[in-house]
C-alpha cells in the first residue's frame, strides 16, 4: 500500500452515486444465495469470485440480473441494505446516498410498504451498528418508461420513507429523452425532494442541459459529456452544480475509452465541483477507495488534494448543515494528523 492509498483508506468519506443492487458484493450475494438455494448464482467462493470478475458490459448486465433474481422477499432487501452499509463502513464512508430502484422489487412482488420498512429498518440498524448514515435516492429505471416513472413518483411522494432525500433517473439515455420525465420530477420536487438525474453518461451535453432545465437537476449523475460544451461547463461551475463522477464505471460501460482519456481533469480545470463515486462497485471490480486513487492519479493529487475531493462530496451532499460541518471537520483532522 502506498502512503496515498493508506491515506485514502482511512479518509472519512461521503458517497453520492452508488446503486443499491449494484453494491451487492460477492460476500452479500453468497448470503442472499444461501437464502434461495434454487438460484443459478455459484455458491462456492471461488466460482463466485470468478463470476464477479468484470469482463464486459454484457457480463455486468448478466451479473446484475442474477442479483436482482435473488431479491424476492422484504428480508432480502433488509439484508442487502444492511450489508452494503457494512461494506461502506469498512471504507470509512460515513454518509451515503444510495440510489434505490423500488419499482424493480415491487414489480417482482415485494409489497411497496414492506419494501419501505425493510430499507428503513436497515438504515436505522446501520447507523446504530456501523456509524454509517444512509439516505435514499429513488430512481426511475428509464427503460421501463412512464409507467415506472409514475410508480416511482407515487412511492416517493405517498410512502415517503424518512431516509428519502432525492429523486433520480437511471437506465439508458438513448431513446429515453430526459424531458418526458418532467411531470414526475415536478411532483417530487414539489414534495421537497432533490432532483438528481443521471445525464450525459452515454449521450451528449444536450441531455445534461435537458436534465437542468426540464428536470431541475441540482446535481448530475455522471455528466461525462459536459466537457464537449464549454458553455455548459461554465454554467455548471458558475451555479456550483456538482457532477457525480464514477471513473471506473465510465470505462467499464465504454462511456469513456480509457481511464487516461477520462474528462475528469477537464472538469476540474473548468472549475466544476466534482465528486468521486463508485456507481456499481463490486460489479465493476472497484470500490470507493479505488475510485479516489484513480482520481488522484488522473489529477496528480497529494493527500491535501484528495482531502479536498472528499470535502467536495460533503458540500454536494444533502446532509444537513451540522452533519456537513462534522464530516468536514473529520476530513480536516485526518489530513492534519497525516505525516508529511
Q: Which chain residues interact with Zn ion by CB under 5 A? A: 279
- Min dist. Cβ of residue 34 to Zn ion (A): 28
- Strand boundaries in 130-228, DSSP class E: 133-141, 164-170, 194-199, 220-222
Q: Which residue is nearest to Zn ion (CB)?
A: 279
Could you please report the per-residue DSSP string of 267-298? HHHTT--EEE--BSGGGGT--HHHHHHHHHHH
Q: On the CB side of 253, how many CA atoms lie within 13 Å of its CA?
A: 20
Closer CB to Zn ion, 83 or 201, in the complex: 201
- Selecting among 83, 120, 173, 201, the annotated active-site residue is 201
Which residue carries 448486465 as its cell? 61
41-to-69, 129, 270 alpha-carbon distances in Å: 9, 29, 45
Closer CB to Zn ion, 278 or 328, in the complex: 278
Cell numbers linked to 144: 421501463
- Min dist. Cβ of residue 18 to Zn ion (A): 8
Closer CB to Zn ion, 35 or 59, in the complex: 59
14-to-39, 59, 283, 307 alpha-carbon distances in Å: 34, 29, 20, 11
- Min dist. Cβ of residue 110 to Zn ion (A): 22
Closer CB to Zn ion, 16 or 301, in the complex: 16
Closer CB to Zn ion, 283 or 303, in the complex: 283
What strand order describes the sheet that includes 133-141?
13-19, 93-100, 133-141, 164-170, 194-199, 220-222, 243-245, 274-276
Cβ atoms within 10 Å, residue 130: 18
Contacts of 195 (CB under 8 A, 6+ apart): 166, 167, 185, 188, 189, 215, 216, 217, 218
Indicate the burial class of 117 (C-beta count within 10 angstroms; 0-12, 13-18, 19 or more).
middle
Q: Is 201 a catalytic residue?
A: yes
- Min dist. Cβ of residue 139 to Zn ion (A): 8
Provide the angle, in degrees to the nearest 10, between the axes of the packed helices 321-336 and 303-316. Answer: 170
Q: Please list the residues that pair with 211 across neighbouring strands.
A: none
Closer CB to Zn ion, 97 or 279, in the complex: 279
- Min dist. Cβ of residue 243 to Zn ion (A): 12
Q: Which residues are catalytic?
A: 201
Amino acid at each position: 500500500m502506498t502512503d496515498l492509498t493508506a491515506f485514502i483508506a482511512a479518509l472519512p468519506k461521503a458517497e453520492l452515486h452508488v446503486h443499491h443492487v449494484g453494491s451487492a458484493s460477492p460476500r452479500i450475494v453468497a448470503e442472499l444465495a444461501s437464502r434461495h438455494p434454487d438460484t443459478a448464482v455459484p455458491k462456492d467462493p471461488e466460482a463466485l469470485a470468478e463470476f464477479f470478475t468484470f469482463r464486459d458490459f454484457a457480463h455486468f448486465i448478466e451479473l446484475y440480473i442474477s442479483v436482482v433474481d435473488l431479491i424476492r422477499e422484504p428480508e432480502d432487501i433488509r439484508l442487502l441494505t444492511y450489508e452494503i452499509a457494512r461494506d461502506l463502513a469498512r471504507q470509512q464512508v460515513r454518509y451515503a446516498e444510495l440510489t434505490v430502484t423500488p419499482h424493480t422489487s415491487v414489480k417482482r412482488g415485494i409489497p411497496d410498504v414492506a419494501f419501505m420498512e425493510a430499507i428503513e429498518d436497515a438504515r436505522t440498524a446501520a447507523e446504530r451498528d456501523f456509524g454509517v448514515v444512509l439516505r435514499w435516492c429513488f430512481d426511475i429505471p428509464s427503460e421501463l418508461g412512464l409507467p415506472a416513472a409514475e410508480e416511482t413518483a407515487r412511492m416517493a411522494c405517498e410512502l415517503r420513507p424518512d431516509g428519502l432525500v432525492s429523486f433520480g433517473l437511471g437506465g439508458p439515455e438513448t431513446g429515453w429523452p430526459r424531458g418526458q420525465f418532467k411531470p414526475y420530477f415536478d411532483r417530487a420536487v414539489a414534495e421537497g425532494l432533490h432532483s438528481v438525474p443521471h445525464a450525459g453518461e452515454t449521450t451528449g451535453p444536450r441531455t445534461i442541459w435537458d436534465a437542468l432545465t426540464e428536470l431541475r437537476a441540482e446535481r448530475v449523475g455522471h455528466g461525462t459529456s459536459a466537457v464537449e460544451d464549454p458553455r455548459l461547463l461554465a454554467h455548471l461551475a458558475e451555479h456550483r452544480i456538482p457532477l457525480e463522477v464514477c471513473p471506473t464505471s465510465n470505462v467499464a460501460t465504454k462511456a469513456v475509452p480509457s481511464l487516461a482519456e477520462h474528462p475528469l481533469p477537464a472538469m476540474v480545470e473548468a472549475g466544476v465541483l466534482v465528486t468521486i463515486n463508485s456507481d456499481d462497485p463490486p460489479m465493476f471490480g472497484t470500490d470507493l477507495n479505488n475510485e479516489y486513487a484513480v482520481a488522484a492519479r488522473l489529477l496528480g493529487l497529494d493527500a491535501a488534494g484528495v482531502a479536498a475531493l472528499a470535502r467536495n462530496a460533503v458540500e454536494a451532499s444533502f446532509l444537513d448543515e451540522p452533519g456537513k460541518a462534522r464530516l468536514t471537520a473529520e476530513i480536516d483532522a485526518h489530513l492534519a494528523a497525516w505525516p508529511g
